[in-house]
Amino acid sequence: MPESRVTVKIPRPLYERIQQVIEESGFSCPTDFIVFVLRDIVGDRALERPTPPPDRDPPRPTRRSRRSGASCTTSDTCKEPCRDDCPPRWTPDQPPRDGEQRDKLLARAKAAPKLKLNAREMADLEMIAVGAMSPLEGFMGSADLKGVVTGHRLANGVLWAMPVTLSNKGLGALKIGQDVALEDESGHLLGLLELQERYSFSKEEEARGVLGTADKTHPGVMYLDSIGTEYLGGPVWATDLPKYDFANEFRLTPRETRVLFKARGWNTVVAFQTRNPIHRAHEYLTKCALEVVDGLMIHPLVGETKSDDVPARVRMDCYKVLLEKYYPKPRVTLAVYPQAMRYGGPREALFHALCRKNYGCTHFIVGRDHAGVGSFYGSFDAQAFMRGLDQAELGIQPLMFENAFFDKKAGNMATTKTSAATNPEDMVMLSGTKVRDMLRAGQRPPVEFSRPEVADILIAAMADKVKAPA
């Protein structure tokens, strides 16, 4: 029986534009590219990305030109200045030239000592592998860590915000130059570390320099206390990325988001980082930002968070229903950010901004108490820190916002810049923390806090949590 075919006629200028974008993207064929773009623009999340063959080349850490600040992953021997359209060396959608390199890595890993990664280290490996943490090519050595702790810069002077380290977990007989196989908790091989350094670093110095505190109740300090005293530094090769059982269709790499932005014709894109459901205050800030850029990427963090944070699975349901009903579809996209939360306040605000620059964003929202926890940071410490940076060196424009609230007199969301209200009783202040407290108490968040559809999802999730066996 003959195949059914559909012929679609399009204007030649549009055809030529599509061809240009495909050529710039590095996709192996027009079909792969079209499926990818249609999935986002049409909103058909059932369209899956092509499955890579088992002998694909592994992802390789990206390199960064200090001249331009753009990711370059074309070649180790590339001498050209880095450009935003440099094709990556590897992505899950692009079939490799051959599997010889991967086979060699697998053989090396088989003979190497095995090191299991914790949740943060797995997320960091993935971020390095796909280029989201460029210019890092692996886990930090002592010089880079020292530079980041004391002055938010790598040893070569490049701006960087947070330590990205690998803790040794009992491997004693390791020699410099040796391979170390990196595994997930179930023993599945994720990559290979080429060991360049074994070193120790003061946990207190690291905590005070990066987090601004050595208080044992800070989640970041608790993490440092939970890992070993020795770090392993060196470049990494990823043989596989971590496997997930949710939100896989939203796990776009920096290469994919850059292609998506080009396909949509977005020259300016603002990223919104969140570890909470988007309540009314967040919605207001993102829509204000959307007034000054071409597109908005909702980019929630779905790596490890505190146990009392709303789970990523629940949050994803909230984001999807909110975007479906309350945002302009042609100007907004949803993708997930696989990193683990550090709760690093001002430093982590810079960290989030630099990584979003790698995803192709030109602007980044910095709101109240960005990446904060408890009372460790002031409401606008992160904004003050970001303002003190050289904006040209930063390479992504921070958008600073005041505390948003519901103005009872005006009947809408506002900030102190846009509201005539002067009486605190006329201002309903909103926060993710307050929403969580209400849910724990069995109270329905009012419409001033959350959209009804979001509130329904959160209430159902909290009820399921209460019913779950201990």
Question: Which pLDDT does position 469 carry in this prediction?
Answer: 47
Query: Angle 443-446-447 (CA atoms, 0-180°, nearest 5)?
Result: 150
Model pLDDT for residues 140-155, shown as the tens digit of each residue: 999 999 999 999 999 9
More confident residue, 322 or 443: 322
In the predicted structure, residue 47 carries a pLDDT above the cut 80: no
Among 60, 58, 138, residue whose Cα is nearest residue 102: 58
In the predicted structure, residue 72 carries a pLDDT above the cut 60: no
Q: At what angle do helices 432-440 and 452-467 cross, to 10 degrees?
A: 50
Judge whether 276 counts as a catalytic residue: yes
Q: Is the pTM of this model over 0.85?
A: no
Question: Which pLDDT does position 333 carry in this prediction?
Answer: 97
Question: Which pLDDT does position 100 carry in this prediction?
Answer: 81
Share of the chain above pLDDT 70, in %: 77
Catalytic residue selected from 258, 275, 342, 368: 275
Phi-psi category of residue 254: left, alpha or beta, with phi > 0 → left and psi -120 to 50 → alpha: alpha
Question: Which pLDDT does position 71 carry in this prediction?
Answer: 39
**Per-residue confidence band for 60, with pLDDT thresholds at 50, 70 and 90:** very low
Model pLDDT for residues 387-444, shown as the tens digit of each residue: 999 999 999 999 999 989 999 999 999 998 999 998 988 988 766 667 777 877 778 8
Judge whether 156 counts as a catalytic residue: no
Among 400, 363, 123, residue whose Cα is nearest residue 261: 363
Question: Which pLDDT does position 43 carry in this prediction?
Answer: 53
Question: Which pLDDT does position 440 carry in this prediction?
Answer: 74
**Per-residue confidence band for 176, with pLDDT thresholds at 50, 70 and 90:** very high
How high does pLDDT run on average in the chain? 84
Q: What is the dihedral of CA 194, 200, 205, 209, to 10 degrees?
A: 0
Catalytic residue selected from 168, 276, 315, 368: 276
Q: Are 212 and 182 in contact (CB under 8 A)?
A: no
